[in-house]
Amino acid sequence: MSFFLIVLTILVIISAGFLVIELLGFLKESSLFEKLSFSWGLGFGLIGLQLFFYHLLNIEWNRLSILFPWISLFILYIQKNKPYFPKMTPRLQSREKIFVTLILLLVLFVGFESTLRPVQAWDAWDNWLFRSKVFYHHNTIDQYYFHYAQDEYPLIIPLVGTFGYIMMGQINDRLILLLFFMFYLCLGGLFFGTARRLFNTQKALLFTFLLLSLQNLIRHGGRFEVGQADLALSYYIFAGMILLASFIKRKSKKAAFLLSVFLGISGQIKYDGMAFVMIVTLISFFSIIEWKRYRYVFLLLPTFLLLIPWQLYKVFNHLPENFLFRSGINIHIERVATVILFMSKEFFSIKNWNLLWIVFFVCLIFYWRRSEKAKLFLVVLFLQWLSYFVIFLMTPTDPATHIENIIDKLYIHLAPIAMLIIAINLSQFLDNSNLLKHKLKLS
Amino acid sequence: MFWMKKKNVSYYLLLILLLLWIGISLVRTFYNLSKLGIEERKWYFLTDEEKREMQFGDRHRFFRFVQVYTKKGSNILFYTHDGMAYYWGRYYLYPTTVIWGENQYVHWGDDINRNYEYVMIYPLNRGKQLKDVFFFENVAYKKLVEYKIGNSVKGVIYKK
């Protein structure tokens, strides 16, 4: 029964996102596959925020009160649209079939592993699922919790965990992990959808397989560390990046609005996402200024409208300050060499990343002048990396230990963007190499 | 000519790296799948309770023991040198609140309720003499129960 209810929870989350996308006419050019992948993140964020606003408005959390708005949207949607069943008749070549099989095997493996054991990750019982448990127990956001746990972390992930418990009618910290596996699945979906627009199916499948087979992603999607916020943030950063690229390319208002909502959610997944929010907002802002379409600035407002309530909530309820800033902001310049050394070491961890980072740097060396398409992705990736670098210059703990403890998780945030940059470069390389072979044969 | 050489170097280097990467990914995918039939088999037919015991060992048994001997929703002062035991206990025992004895003034200052119903110590250092009465801020806590494995005492709970 609990398994059925957690699957139902997943369907509710995807449906919530899908209804908003369809009713507001977002992602018109995207395939159903891409829309569903975006729907997961949008639904997840909106339901988390819904529980937070219910708490602020003193509305009780129960299945009916939470599902009511979504059921209303669903009725509105079926009144406006006739249900349609897209024809799924993919014609795959034999190599493509092999990659599809490999990807499916990976997804099944990670999904199975995610619920094989009860929660075992430190991050979960120290933070994310601990809060889900506390809020479920009190059926609201308990104020004493913040003082008891000395915690001021954002609430979307724990609140969606609580939503899962409300749907199941009990705390089940094994099945709830399926929610985190969904980020693995939908990240793969988003990546394939994007790659499919840029390259042919075979290349898109190859690079999706290479992304989903990264050991660190597999572990956080279902095995030891069990994802929690880092894989989720990786998904949101990648989704935000795609929407930013789409906004800049098409100057589309709808892409800007959806991007802004995704940024508002990303900043409340984990604080590491705040740097990304700032970077992308600034890029969007300068692009708008350059285009002289000043009214577009209003489209960036949802980010702030979604972020400000939580910031005000922290102030009004005297929540403890983040441990990084408790003793003021101190940048230790003398740590630069140590931080660079320890942050760079992770790039060579084949155990975690296979050859992702090595190929990434080789691609940069040989192709950086010609990777026009990848420039935007490269800038964001570098600035996000720089934000982690600055944090390690500021951290009140020993930087080497701090880096070693969390660097693999931070690079998860960047991995899908790095993979897309590699895919763009290698795709050119594969095309050019065919041409080169041809020239060599002629000479 | 130099241009052609440079092209060839980058071509072969990237080709080798790409093939190597695909090879590693394939091997690891099948290695992971093979684990399902070998090392993961031991998890398949266990209950959640048995899985927790296998995962967290004696800590799991101790906190189940604490649940039996303490009132749900109480406030416990927990002395431990094992950080994992503290955080696991905090998660496990909620709605009972657990404050880390050694760090309580550094970590919480005056931000918490210090009216404790119980004091517990786990894991006990080997050879440590247990008192029958434990004092915290002039409040006496009497020994309620000892947690033993065989004849050896591994933990203790005191009650106000």
pLDDT digits (tens, 9 = 90+) for A386-417: 999 999 998 888 889 999 988 998 999 999 99
Which uninterrupted H or E stretch holds A166?
A: helix A156-168
The pLDDT, as a whole number, for residue A438 is 55
CB contact under 8 A, A354 and B108: no
Tokens of A274: 């705040």
pLDDT at A252 over 80: yes
Percent of chain A with pLDDT over 70: 92
Asked if residue A133 lies in contact with residue B94, where contact means CB atoms within 8 angstroms, the answer is: yes
The pLDDT, as a whole number, for residue A13 is 97
The pLDDT, as a whole number, for residue B152 is 85
The pLDDT, as a whole number, for residue A20 is 95
Tokens of B128: 């440590």
The average pLDDT across A370-386 equals 88
CB contact under 8 A, A148 and B24: no
To test the contact with chain B by mutation, choose from A98, A99, A117 the residue with the greatest count of B C-beta atoms within 10 A, namely: A117
Nearest to A426 among B8, B13, B18 (CB): B18
Asked if residue A229 lies in contact with residue A406, where contact means CB atoms within 8 angstroms, the answer is: no
B32: chain A residues, CB-CB within 8 Å: 106, 109, 218
| Separation in Å, CA of B129 to nearest CA in chain A | 31
| Separation in Å, CA of A121 to nearest CA in chain B | 10
Which uninterrupted H or E stretch holds A250?
A: helix A229-250
Predicted TM-score (pTM) of this structure: 0.92
* Sequence-ordered list of residues with C-beta below 8 angstroms from that of A403, at least 6 positions apart, any chain: A339, A342, A343, A392
Give the chain A residue whose CA is nearest to the CA of B13.
Answer: A362
**A89 pLDDT tier (thresholds 50, 70, 90):** low
The pLDDT, as a whole number, for residue A318 is 84
DSSP A62-90: -HHHHHHHHHHHHHHHHHHS---------
User: B10 — contact with chain A (CB < 8 Å)?
Assistant: yes
Query: What are A1-23's pLDDT values in tens digits?
Result: 889 999 999 999 999 999 999 99
Asked if residue A43 lies in contact with residue A17, where contact means CB atoms within 8 angstroms, the answer is: yes
CB contact under 8 A, A174 and B48: yes
pLDDT at A326 over 80: no
The DSSP bridge pattern shows strands B118-121 and B75-79 to be parallel
The pLDDT, as a whole number, for residue A223 is 66
The pLDDT, as a whole number, for residue B136 is 86
Write down the mean pLDDT value for chain A.
89
The average pLDDT across A293-299 equals 92
Give the chain A residue whose CA is nearest to the CA of B75.
Answer: A148
The pLDDT, as a whole number, for residue A433 is 59
The pLDDT, as a whole number, for residue A385 is 96
The pLDDT, as a whole number, for residue A219 is 86
| Separation in Å, CA of B52 to nearest CA in chain A | 7
The pLDDT, as a whole number, for residue B74 is 94
Q: What CA–CA distance (Å, rounded) separates A385 from A390? A: 9
**A435 pLDDT tier (thresholds 50, 70, 90):** low
| Separation in Å, CA of B141 to nearest CA in chain A | 23
The average pLDDT across A242-270 equals 94
The pLDDT, as a whole number, for residue B7 is 64
The pLDDT, as a whole number, for residue A269 is 94
What's at B30, amino acid-wise?
A: F
Query: What are A37-60's pLDDT values in tens digits?
Result: 999 999 999 999 999 999 999 999
Closest CA to A53 of A141, A133, A128, A167: A141
- Scanning chain B, the segments in alpha helix (DSSP H) are 2-37, 48-56, 58-69, 83-93
The pLDDT, as a whole number, for residue A36 is 94
The pLDDT, as a whole number, for residue A127 is 85
CB contact under 8 A, A362 and B43: no
**A312 pLDDT tier (thresholds 50, 70, 90):** very high
To test the contact with chain B by mutation, choose from A366, A368, A438, A442 the residue with the greatest count of B C-beta atoms within 10 A, namely: A366
Task: Name every residue in A having a CB less than 8 A away from some CB of B.
Answer: 102, 105-106, 109, 112-113, 116-118, 120, 122, 125-126, 129-130, 133-134, 137, 144, 147-150, 174, 206, 209-210, 213, 215, 218, 320, 350, 354-356, 358-359, 362-363, 366, 426, 429, 433, 436
Percent of chain B with pLDDT over 70: 94
**A186 pLDDT tier (thresholds 50, 70, 90):** very high
Q: State which residues of chain B have pLDDT below 70.
A: 1-7, 127
Evaluated on CA atoms A65, A155, A239, A226, the torsion sign reads negative
The dihedrals phi and psi of B157, each to the nearest 5 degrees, come to -120, 130
